[in-house]
Amino acid sequence: MPLGFGILNPMVTLPLILTAVIGFIIAELLGKHEGHRWKWQLTRVKVKDYTVHVHHWLYASMALVALPSATDHKTIIEAFLVGVIVQGMTYRDFYKVVYKEVVE
């Protein structure tokens, strides 16, 4: 494949990078900051003594996997979701999906 085509082509790469950055920024603006709790905890479910927290990056990961290959503009949507996932990984607790609630 010649260098002018595919992912090495700036006309292809630049829009994907910009779309990922836009996904990151939107997730940052719409997300809550650490330590702040929303009134409605739609992403946390209590199961006995444990909390299951489905983070927004996990939703984006599931959407990325489930995205049909026949979707128009699939690559742009994937880039946006990657930006959302990367932003979610900036939280200190991004890996805590199931945890025991600590009572202080």
- Verdict on whether the full-model pTM lies above 0.95: no
Low-confidence ranges of the chain (pLDDT < 70): 1-9, 32-42, 70-71, 103-104
Q: What integer pLDDT is reported at residue 91 of this predicted model?
A: 86
Return the number of other C-beta atoms located less than 10 Å from residue 39's C-beta: 4
Q: What is the DSSP letter of 37?
A: -
Q: What integer pLDDT is reported at residue 41 of this predicted model?
A: 53
Interhelix angle for 74-88 vs 10-30, to 10°? Answer: 50
Q: What is the DSSP letter of 38?
A: -
Beta strands in 16-73 (DSSP E): 44-47, 50-53
Q: What is the C-alpha to C-alpha distance for residues 32 and 42, in angstroms, rounded to an integer?
A: 13
Q: What integer pLDDT is reported at residue 40 of this predicted model?
A: 47
Q: What integer pLDDT is reported at residue 19 of this predicted model?
A: 93
